[in-house]
Amino acid sequence: MTVGDVERFLQKVKRGPGCWEWTAARMRAGYGVFWINGKNAGAHCIAYVLAHGRIGLGVQVNQS
């Protein structure tokens, strides 16, 4: 993820004291989606990476 990707992502987030609200595109099920590296990624996964680092093998990041 590049610095530009991070900046672009954060422009689409309303950050609060606890939760971050996604304000951009959503999948049909209502979950946030972010275009990165030529494909769509769940916004919740990008937020996890920014907060905790790479998602490890076998780790599932759930939307909530």
The domain spans of the chain are 3-52
Rounded CA separation 31/54 (Å): 20
The per-residue pLDDT for range 17-41, each reduced to its tens digit, is 888 899 999 999 889 999 999 999 9
pLDDT, residue 6, reads 95
pLDDT at 63: 73
Tell which residue, 50, 53, 60, has the closest CA to residue 15.
50
Q: Are strands 39-42 and 33-36 parallel, antiparallel or unpaired?
A: antiparallel
Backbone dihedral angles phi then psi of residue 8, each to the nearest 5 degrees: -65, -40
Q: 43: which 2 tokens?
A: 């916004």
Question: In this model, does residue 59 exceed pLDDT 80?
Answer: yes
- Residue 55 phi/psi, 5° resolution? -80, 120
**Quick one: pLDDT at residue 37?**
93
pTM of the model: 0.82
Collapsing DSSP states into helix, strand and coil, what is residue 33? strand
